[in-house]
Amino acid sequence: MKRNTLVVSAALLAAITGRAGAQAAGASAAPAAQQAAADTALDARTNAVAVQLRCPVCQGVSIQDSPAELAQQMRNLVREQLRAGKSPDEVKAYFVSKYGEWILLQPRASGFNILIYALPVLVVLGGLAVIVVAMRRWTKPPENLSI
């Protein structure tokens, strides 16, 4: 009996220490997982800003898509600034202050830039008006036709 008790208590002890050990391992794994999640989130935020910034070397693509060394360095800077607590708008404002509004792949809809957004709509409306006027003329009786 005594020996049985000893075996049981040894097994219990092993189970407890084993569990404790597993817990310890779990505790150390948690921050690593958190770190990885934070990195992934930071990567996603960096990408979201980087796709909006024009590569100064290639000029036609974003710094996210450009293989140029400068674009890569700019991406690193975006990441660093976001990590330091800057908002995406603040990071973009930093690049605009250095490169001008040219650096934004999508121009801001303010001031002269409004033309870029308004002009296509106006042209389509103007085209529709021309079509309507032309259609009316074409469908008028022949005696009113004036060419």
Partner 1 sequence: MNWKRSLIAAVTAVPVILLFAWGFTRDPGEIPSPLPGHAAPQFSLDVFAPGQPPLSRPVGDTVRLADLRGQVVVLNFWASWCGACREEHTVLSTTARLYTGRPVHFLGVLYNDSLAAGEAWIAEMGGQSYPSMQDPGARTAIDYGLYGVPETFFIDGDGRVAYKQLGPVTGVGLAHIVDSLIAALPPKPAAPATKSRS
Q: Applying CB under 8 A, which residues contact partner 1?
A: 56-57, 59, 69-70, 73-74, 76-77, 96-100, 102, 146
Q: How far is the CB of 134 from partner 1 (least distance, A)?
A: 13
Q: Measured in whole angstroms, how far is the alpha carbon of residue 84 from the centre of its chain?
A: 17
Q: How far is the CB of 24 from partner 1 (least distance, A)?
A: 39
CB of 4 or CB of 143, closer to partner 1: 143
CB of 22 or CB of 124, closer to partner 1: 124
CA torsion, ordered 57, 61, 64, 68, to nearest 10 deg:
-30
| 74 Cβ contact partners less than 8 Å away, ≥ 6 residues apart | 50, 53, 55, 56, 63, 95
The alpha-helical segments, DSSP class H, found in the chain are 2-50, 69-83, 88-99, 114-139
CB of 1 or CB of 84, closer to partner 1: 84
Q: How far is the CB of 107 from partner 1 (least distance, A)?
A: 14
